[in-house]
Amino acid sequence: MEKAQRVYRIFEEISSSYDRANDRISLGQHLRWKRAAVRSLSPVLCDGARVLDLCCGTGDMIRLLLEQNRSLEVVGVDFSPRMLEAAREKLKDFPQVTLMNGDAMALPFPDGAFDAAVLSFALRNTENYAQVLGELSRVVRPGGAVCCIDSFSPVFPPARLFHRLYFSGLMPLLGGGWRHRQEYVWLWESTRSFISAEELRGLMESAGLGRIQSRAFLFGACAAQTGIKIGSR
């Protein structure tokens, strides 16, 4: 099964329990990390700014963006209809939010359509990291910002060992229970095979993003990297 088809099936299966599972497997920390990612976009989140949340899932990041500035116009894109259903329910009181189905590697927006874009815990599940980052850079205006926050394998050996034991053994049961444990095994595998935070920085630079600022959490198990769109690309 191709990666995209497998990821699609997984997120359709776990959509109804996804938020609760994130709370459990991150030990309640994922919203704190996402808030830090949102804060990194603050310089461009002026009143009325347009923001893209790519692979928006159930809408957590959109809620946090609007918590930062209620006047933002936010577009959420995801390829999973069931995840979008959960997001619509969560965001039903926010008329300034548009949710749509779409492909992260071929976004249906013109160049420079957004002031900022965010990709949260999703790049590692796409088929072509460089193409996705290139699309994010393309649809953000020059001077706008792109933030990518994701999971990584820690570099520090003791933390790396604990991370491997926790995410390969306990995390699938905490996240999916007995019924959906295999789906969460896949999410661990996608982190294990993902690029490093330093390699991500290089891909962001190749996509036309500069002045990249990085922040790591939990000994590098999570990191947020935010760059500014350079030039007129």
Cα atoms in the 13 Å half-sphere on the side-chain side of 225: 22
CA separation for the pair 122, 30 (Å, rounded)? 13
* pLDDT score of 1: 46
Which residue ranges form the domains of the chain, and what is each CATH number? 3-151+196-229 (3.40.50.150)
| Positive or negative torsion for Cα 121, 122, 125, 131 | negative
* pLDDT score of 175: 52
> Cα(first)–Cα(last) distance of the chain, in Å?
35
* pLDDT score of 129: 97
* pLDDT score of 49: 97
CA separation for the pair 206, 228 (Å, rounded)? 12
The parts of the chain modelled with pLDDT lower than 50 are: 1, 178, 233
Name the β-bridge partners of 147: 118, 226
* pLDDT score of 178: 47
Question: CA-CA distances (angstroms) from residue 55 to 7, 81, 210, 219?
Answer: 12, 11, 23, 25
